[in-house]
Amino acid sequence: MIAYMVRRVLLAILTIWAITILSFLIIQLPPGDFVDTYANTMSAGGTGITEGEKQALREQYGLDQPMYVQYLKWMGLIMQGNFGMAIEWGRPVMDVIGDRLMLTIVISLAAIVFTWALALPIGIYSAVKRYSLLDYVFTFVGFIGLAIPGFMLGLIVMYVGFSYFGANVGGLFSADYAEAPWSMERVWDLIKHLPTPAVVLGVAGTAQMIRIMRSNLLDELRKPYVMTARARGLSETRVIMKYPVRVALNPFISTIGYLLPYVVSGSIIVSMVLSLPTVGPLLLKSLVAQDMFLAGTIVLLLGVLTVIGTLISDLLLMWVDPRIRLGRQ
């Protein structure tokens, strides 16, 4: 068991290294560099900078060096625990991300809680009471949620909220609390702003989860062991909850490690539309601006989180499903 764990950890490190190279390459793929983007942005904003100024900026940021030198420089910095400067922001990368990472996790958790709290009971209900009226209703409503593109839903929710309910437009804080230090009032302000993004983000995932939960559980309910359990006089709740639900959760657990990157990726568009201060739009902006260190670090960070998540989910899988555990040995 320990040998297995050690092997897994070593492999994880290898994976992370592969991710650094891949992410570096991907970010370098588009033509031009940060200075080009910056100059072009300025031009679009009605003010130009000169060729000489461009060259000076390039030298300052080391963008005139060959790609492998830049990569090695980046690796060298990371080894020292320094993730470099976010060029566009003029702040250390970790400062820029730090502000937003926590809010991202808060929103993601809210969305996940919303999704699971709604999807699991409904999924179980739909499987057990298949073809009942409520099954149809849940199915229908769930799918509509799945079918509306997130960006559309976000804008509509925001616009309707503004024009009919006088709600705040986008963001996670009211203007008064945007810059305030953390306090109970600020937390409360955040909580008040959470439902919109959580619902908009969670809606699509919920429908998907209901469907998969229902499918999995239906598969399990037909198995002989369920009949056996029932025949032995176990209560219906116990029959369903004890084994079939646990087994039906198996595919979820195998993907739990991807939840965070999935939600972050999925949240980019919604965060853009709702103007949420999360990592998502930051990633998108840094990619567009070709802000190498910032984009690279975010991709790397998400990669590491995923690798760790996968590790955890594999271990969880062994714990939940004894068949896998035994198979390993």
Partner 1 sequence: MSLKKMTRRDFLKLAGVTSVGAVVAACAPEPTKAPAPTAAPKPTDAPKPTAVPPTAAPKPTDVPKATTAPTAAPKLGATLIGKLEGPTIIRETAQFPKTFKEAPMLADLVKAGKLPEVAKRLPDPADLMVIKPLKETGKYGGNWRRAFTGPADHENGNRINSADKILHFDYTGNKIIPMLAKDWKVSDDGKTITIYLRKGAKWSNGDPFTANDFMFWYEDVYLNKALVTTPFFEFQINGKNGVMKKVDDYTVAYEFPEPYPYFVYILAGSTSMGAGFATRGAFQTNGGSYCPSAYLKQFLPKYSSEDAVNAKAKAAGFDNWVSYFKNRYSWALNPDCPTMTPWRTVSPINTPTWGMERNPYFWQVDTEGNQLPYIDKLTMTLAENTEVANLRAIAGEYDCQERHMGLAKLPVFLENQQKGNYTVHLDPAFNGSDLALHMGNAYEGDAEIAALIKNKDFRHALSMGIDRDQLNEAFWLGVGTPGSTAPAPDTLYSPGPEWNKKWATLDLKQSNDILDKLGYDKKDGEGYRLRKDGKGRLRLEMITVPGSFVPYTPMGEMIKQQWKKIGVDVDIKETERNLAFGKTANNEQQIITWANDGSEMLYLFARHALPVDTAESHMGMAYAKWFASGGTQGKKPEDPEMLRAFDLFRAAMGQKEEDQIKSAKEIWKIIVEQQWSIGVVGQSPAFMGVRIVKNNMGNVPERQVNAQHARTPCTSGPQTFFFKS
Partner 2 sequence: MTELVIPQDTPTTAAEEKIAVATQWQLMWWRFRKHKLAMLGSLVLIAFYLSVISVDFLAYADPNESDAQRGLIAPQAIEWFDNGEFKPYVHPLKGTRDPKTFKRVYVPDLETKVPVKLFGQGFSYKFLGVIPTDRHLFAVEGADAQTTLFLLGTDVQGRDLWSRLVYGTQTSLTIGLFSVALSLLLGVTLGGMSGYFGGIWDTVIQRIIEILRSLPTIPLWMGLTAALPNDWSVMQVYFAITIIISLIGWTELARVVRGRFLSLRQEDFVMAAQLLGCSKRRIIFRHMVPSFISHIIAATTLALPAMIISETSLSFLGLGLRPPAISWGVLLQDAQNIQALAISPWLLIPVLPVIVAVLAFNFMGDGLRDAADPYG
Q: Are 101 and 279 in contact (CB under 8 A)?
A: yes
Beta bridge partners of 91: 86
Residues 193-252 that bind partner 1 (CB under 8 A): none
Over the window 109 to 128, marking each residue x when it contacts partner 1 by CB under 8 A and - when it does not, the resulting string is --------------------
* Closer residue to partner 2 (CB): 112 or 190: 112
Q: If contact means CB under 5 to 8 A according to the sort of partner, which of partner 1, partner 2, none does residue 18 touch?
A: partner 2
Q: Is 101 in the site for partner 1 (CB under 8 A)?
A: no
Q: Report the partner that residue 130 touches, choosing among partner 2, partner 1, none (CB closer than 5 to 8 A by kind).
A: partner 2
Neighbouring-strand partners of residue 324: none
Asked if 292 is part of the footprint of partner 2 (rule: CB under 8 A), the reply reads no
Part in contact with partner 1 (CB under 8 A); list of ranges 141-149, 153-161, 186-194, 321-329: 153-161
How many residues of this chain bind partner 1 (CB under 8 A)? 57
Task: Specify burial of residue 274 (Cβ count, 10 A radius: 0-12, 13-18, 19+).
Answer: buried
From the list 84, 123, 150, 205, which residue makes contact with partner 2 (rule: CB under 8 A)?
A: 150
> What is the dihedral sign for C-alpha 3, 5, 8, 14?
negative
Q: Which does 124 bind (CB under 5 to 8 A by kind): partner 1, partner 2, none?
A: none
- Within 65-124, the residues that bind partner 2 by CB under 8 A are none
The angle at the Cα of 269, spanning 123 to 187, to the nearest 5 degrees, equals: 80
Q: DSSP label at 315?
A: H
Helix spans in the chain (H): 2-28, 34-44, 51-61, 67-79, 93-128, 133-147, 150-165, 184-193, 195-221, 224-231, 236-242, 244-254, 259-274, 279-289, 292-320, 322-328
Nearest approach in angstroms of CB 253 to partner 2 is 9
Nearest 5 degrees, angle CA 233-CA 237-CA 241?
A: 110
Q: Which residues bind partner 1 (CB under 8 A)?
A: 30-32, 36-57, 59-60, 62, 82, 85, 88-92, 95-96, 99, 155, 158-159, 162, 169-171, 175, 178-179, 272-275, 277, 281, 285, 289-290
